[in-house]
Amino acid sequence: MKGYKFKLAALLKIRKIKEEQCKMAIGRLQVLITRWRNEIAMHNEGIDQAYEAQEHGLEGGLSGQEARFHPFFLEGKKAHISRIEKEIEILEEQVQQKYEELKTFRADVKLIDEMKEKDMKAYKKNLEKKMFNDIEEANQNWRMIMGDNK
């Protein structure tokens, strides 16, 4: 509206920016979680392939050294998966914290928006009142002029 200026517009803009930044941070964390889960899937696939290779090796004659290597390989893969799962838990906790932050940012933005709407209504009401008073004053002036001419 022409002539209207909300005094807390800068604060509202900053709060909206913080809300958007929080959303982006949540998105980045979720991308990391997805990457880690994909890596777990790759490690599980590697474990499955290792079991298949061991079975084929046992059928075709596997050396003792190769047979001893297999448990260590699986243990290493499982330890790596365990470490990744702990990392995912940490990231999921961070996501929950970010959602809590986002909730407060949204509440702040909503509050300021409501204040802006209330301020806008008050401005419109005052503007309408001023316009009505101006019209009334012009009407009275016109009556005075027309009354003098009669």
Its pTM surpasses 0.75? no
pLDDT above 70 covers a percentage of the chain that reads 93
pLDDT at residue 74 in the model: 87
Higher-pLDDT residue of 106 and 55 is 106
Confidence band, pLDDT 50/70/90 cuts, at residue 113: very high
For 28-85, how does the pLDDT look when each residue is reduced to its tens digit (9 = 90+)?
A: 999 999 999 999 999 999 989 888 877 777 677 767 667 677 788 889 999 999 999 9
CA 78/CA 72 separation, integer angstroms:
10
Confidence band, pLDDT 50/70/90 cuts, at residue 1: low
Secondary structure string (H, E, C) spanning the chain: CCCCCCCCHHHHHHHHHHHHHHHHHHHHHHHHHHHHHHHHHHHHHHHHHHHHHHHHHHHHCCCHHHHHHHHHHHHHHHHHHHHHHHHHHHHHHHHHHHHHHHHHHHHHHHHHHHHHHHHHHHHHHHHHHHHHHHHHHHHHHHHHHHHHHC
Decide if pLDDT at 149 tops 70. Answer: no
CA distances from 108 to 3, 26, 113, 128, 145 (A): 26, 18, 8, 30, 55
Give the relative orientation of helices 64-149 and 9-60 as an angle to the nearest 10 degrees: 160
Decide if pLDDT at 118 tops 90. Answer: yes
Confidence band, pLDDT 50/70/90 cuts, at residue 150: low
